Amino acid sequence: MTAAPQALLSVRDLTMTFPGRRSATGRRGAPVRAVDGVSFDLGEGETLGLVGESGCGKSTTGRMLVRLLEPTAGSVEFDGRDISRLSQGALRPLRRHIQMVFQDPHSSLNPRQTVARIVSDPLLVQGWTAADARRRAAELMELVGLIPEHIDRYPHEFSGGQAQRIGIARSLATSPRLIVADEPVSALDVSVQAQIVNLMERLRRELGLAYVFIAHDLSVVKRVSDRVAVMYLGRIVEIGEKHLLYDDPQHPYTRALLSAVPLPDPAAERRRERIVLLGDPPSPAAPPPGCTFHPRCPKVQEICRTERPLLRVAASREVACHFPGD
């Protein structure tokens, strides 16, 4: 695992297995291992980008970090304390330090509640008075770039970008140290995406926040992250400093993802070799033996089909590949 100094969050061998679906005859299918032994550290004030194709397990990982899903195995330590096995009662005082921003802002906001109630609810749970919670909600509205006087409006009266700002304000209500952002800009227009990313960067600097930033858009992740972890079929296949991973990717899957990111220079875009992966990702209910990427890998050799590669240091980052590099 790539260690971060003074780790705020330490994740070890995190695993999530869902039971298989039942068929029309009532027989249950093979279990689905959505997350398969994920490990990483996150430092104070650091942003780790978690990227990969849809269905790779990154959102499931994020939900386990905040205990919206209970891990099948593994541990999540926050500030030196294992929170993965705490009872809900013991976890409640710690929840104020770990918050989440969701992908679809409108579906994550209660349409029957005003913004004042949505943003202040976490404070009321923590024992704040209604008056103090309302004042704090107005301050948070202004902090995220919204008009405090609109605090008594309902979510449907706001645009998608404004609604996401409300979601961010809600996540900040309890002064957290860590925010798990699950695809926070993927449902927004490109111009609005940039505004929300800039807002989250400013909040990180001003408030000293740490982020786990989950996304499939590598250009967005490049803007916000200090380190990047690439997931494939429930496993991290490469993790390291952002500039190393983007400038010199070592895993063939990382290289393929980066080759699909548009370049601003048309001439450079025309010269660049595009790596096209064959086929679709295998089903997590029936992963291939050995390296799970080998059916699509352009560098596959016999050992890849039989032996699972573990994360090991290569070119100053960790890579799960028998033949890292070019």
The range of the structural domain enclosing residue 221 comes to 7-18+32-249
In a domain, 301, yes or no: no
In a domain, 270, yes or no: no
Long-range contacts, 225-229 (Cβ 8 Å, 24+) = 225/47, 225/48, 225/49, 226/46, 226/47, 226/48, 227/2, 227/4, 227/46, 227/47, 227/48, 227/49, 228/48, 228/49, 228/50, 228/51, 229/40, 229/48, 229/49, 229/50, 229/51
In a domain, 164, yes or no: yes
In a domain, 310, yes or no: no
In a domain, 57, yes or no: yes
Measured distance CA(250)–CA(255) in Å, rounded? 7
Number of residues that make up the chain = 326
In a domain, 67, yes or no: yes
Token couple for 82: 């294992």
CATH of the domain at 64: 3.40.50.300
Beta-ladder partners of 194:
none
What is the pLDDT at residue 273?
A: 75
- Burial-class residue 129 by CB neighbours within 10 Å (0-12, 13-18, 19+): exposed
Token couple for 200: 């989250």
Token couple for 65: 């970090």
Measured distance CA(120)–CA(126) in Å, rounded? 10
One digit per residue, pLDDT tens: the chain, 326 residues?
544 456 999 999 999 999 888 777 778 778 899 999 999 999 999 999 999 998 899 999 999 999 999 999 999 999 999 999 899 889 988 999 999 999 988 888 999 999 999 999 999 988 899 999 999 999 999 999 999 999 999 999 999 999 999 999 999 999 999 999 999 998 888 889 999 999 999 999 999 999 999 998 898 999 999 999 999 999 999 999 999 999 999 999 999 999 888 776 777 666 777 787 888 888 888 899 999 999 999 889 999 999 999 999 998 999 999 999 87
User: What's the total number of domains in the chain?
Assistant: 1
Is residue 209 within 8 Å of residue 176, measured between CB atoms?
yes
What is the pLDDT at residue 96?
A: 92
Measured distance CA(103)–CA(108) in Å, rounded? 8
Answer whether 0.85 is exceeded by the pTM.
Answer: yes
Is residue 204 within 8 Å of residue 47, measured between CB atoms?
yes
In a domain, 146, yes or no: yes
What is the pLDDT at residue 4?
A: 43
Determine the Cα angle at 295 with ends 289 and 299, to 5°: 110
Measured distance CA(34)–CA(16) in Å, rounded? 6
